[in-house]
A and B are shown apart, each in its own frame.
Chain A
Amino acid sequence: MSDHYYAPDHLKAFGTISEGAPELGKKFFEYYSAVFAAGALTEREKALIALAVAHTVQCPYCIDAYTTECLQKGSDIEQMTEAVHVACAIRGGASLVHGMQMKEHAAKVGM
């Protein structure tokens, strides 16, 4: 057992998560593969979205995995950094836009 959280080897062993619930694991990984296959969006576009989301959910496994995946789909550090900024802007904007609620409530309770 790892003596710290977020052990890098966990990513390689991710598939073993199915051991406790094989049917659910099978369904999840099949779904996962289908999601990332080329469709209306290219594999590269999906990898960039995944990279941005990985930063939003702050998953170090996903950040490593989708950094490599984006590079292997032909994205470079400039494009990937812009994708992370998209995540950052939405996340920051989501906080800031709640300020509207703050404003309204302050107006309601204030004089």
Chain B
Amino acid sequence: MTSTLSSRRAPLANPIEQLATLDASMTGRATFDEALRGAGWNALTPATLEIFQINLGKLCNMTCRHCHVDAGPDRSDAMMTRETLDACLRALDQTAAHTVDITGGAPELHPEFRYLVDETHKRGKHVIDRCNLSVLLLPRNDGLAEWLGDRDVEIVASLPHYRQRNTDAQRGDGAFEKSIAALRLLNAAGYGQGDPRRMLSLMTNPAGAFLAAPQSSIENEWKTALKRDFGITFDRLLALNNMPISRFLEWLIESNNLDSYMSRLVDGFNPAAIPGVMCRNTISISWDGRLFDCDFNQMLDLDAVTTSSMTIETFDAAAWQQRHVITRAHCFGCTAGAGSSCGGATA
């Protein structure tokens, strides 16, 4: 059974330790910036800001082995306040971003989750709930699927595989059964049946030290299998690489896979994946109102660097667009193979 790095006071709970481990694993390899330059990019520059990704905190009902957030049931120490949440909304109003992407932890456990969904929906934004599925089965969330459907919220649900073995290996024993129950509940609420107002996207991460399969090549197989075996339908499949940080980094080290996994990421560098990486069109906001280029940089305490330092309280849309994205070795995770971002493959 996995527990959080934080609860074990593991050295890797400290982002500085994670970065040092990653840097050490890169000895003798090209840096990410060198790879970028080789592909004709002097720096990773912002594209138009399209997505506000708000991380409500690290509290989660699950403790998955690959979690890059180190989320878990014991992480109520990191939860966004209503004041910070309102600052997110004020910042959102300064921009033309079309999507609000709500993540965590399990964002549905946050007491202000419904408030945030309501406020962003009222503003006409496309709202994404990054959902671990099992959270929908908790008594406190009775009726949540219908409630989200009434607000056109897209559910992006984590499911490593359409069979039990790989899902339970990554997310814990019993996770698959609960995921199937939650998917049935979402289908019953009208999700996953081609209605653009009730979009159900499944997100798969590899259950191990290898790259994600090209999502377009496996989507039909997933649709056929889930329909055949469980009567479940969904709209699209997103495939993401695992980031070599936090608990997945710990697993890579313990399983003696770190070196080969970093080789896979570095050797798999795909220049065609660069333009679509999420750090270019996304602002990532942490539970305490700090600003990051992406959720992974957030977990590594790599704050976005802007001309004048800012938090979500002092957000300046023009200055945000002037920054350069902060990159380190983990960025190879987003450019390997078919590319990988919160929206799935980028190449």
Contacts and interface: CB of A to CB of B under 8 A. Distances in A.
Contacts of B90: none
Interface residues of A, number: 11
A20 interface: no
B337 A73 contact: no
Interface string A48-65: 000000000000000000
Interface string A89-111: 00000000000000000000000
A72 B163 contact: no
B213 A72 contact: yes
A54 B133 CA distance: 39
Given A42-B217, A44-B217, A76 B163 contact: yes
B213 A74 contact: yes
B161 A72 contact: no
A30 interface: no
Contacts of A78: 163, 165
B333 to A, nearest CB: 14
Contact of A71 (B165, B210, B221, B239): B210
Nearest to A77: B165
A68 B210 CA distance: 7
A72 B239 CA distance: 11
B217 A74 contact: yes
Contacts of B239: 74
Contacts of B149: none
B206 A71 contact: yes
B6 interface: no
Interface in A14-67: 42-44
Nearest to A12: B263
Nearest to A75: B213
Interface residues of B, number: 17
Contact of A76 (B165, B214, B217, B337): B165
A75 B299 CA distance: 31
A21 B142 CA distance: 69
A111 B214 CA distance: 63
A43 B221 CA distance: 15
Contacts of A68: 210, 264
Given A42-B217, A44-B217, A76 B210 contact: no
B211 interface: yes
Specify which of A43, A44, A72, A73 lies most central, judged by the most chain B CB atoms within 10 Å of its CB: A72
A76 B166 contact: yes
B275 interface: no
A72 B211 contact: yes
B124 to A, nearest CB: 37
A68 B217 CA distance: 17
A86 to B, nearest CB: 18
A76 B213 contact: no
B43 interface: no
B208 interface: yes
Interface of A: 42-44, 68, 71-74, 76-78
Given A43-B217, A71-B206, A78-B165, 16 more contacts: A42-B217, A44-B213, A68-B210, A68-B264, A71-B208, A71-B210, A72-B212, A72-B337, A73-B213, A73-B217, A74-B217, A74-B218, A74-B239, A76-B163, A76-B165, A78-B163
Top 6 A-B pairs, shortest CB-CB distance = A74-B213, A74-B218, A71-B210, A72-B211, A72-B210, A68-B210
17 contacts: A42-B217, A68-B210, A68-B264, A72-B206, A72-B210, A72-B337, A73-B214, A74-B213, A74-B214, A74-B217, A74-B218, A74-B239, A76-B161, A76-B165, A77-B165, A77-B166, A78-B163
